[in-house]
A and B are shown apart, each in its own frame.
Chain A
Amino acid sequence: MSLTLSASVIVQGVLTGLVYGLMALGLSVIFGIVRVVNFAHGEFAVLAMYIAYLLFFWLKLDPFLAALPIAALFFGVGYLLQRALINSFVARAEHDQFILMVGLAIVLVNGCLMIFGPEARHAELSYSLDSWLAGPLIIDAVRVYAAIGSLVVALMLLAFFRLTDTGTAIRACADNRLAAAIVGLDTRRLYALTFGLGLACVGAAGAMQTAIIDPNPSLAPGMTLLAFTVVIVGGLGSLIGALFAGILIGVAEALSSLVMAPSMKSLASFAVLVLVLVLRPQGLFGKGG
Chain B
Amino acid sequence: MNIEKFIKHLVEQFDEIDPADVSPTTKFKELDGWDSLVAISLIAMVDAEYGKKLTGDEIRKAQSVSDLFEIVKSKN
To the question of whether A and B form a pair in one complex, the answer is no
B residues at A contact (CB < 8 Å): none
A residues at B contact (CB < 8 Å): none
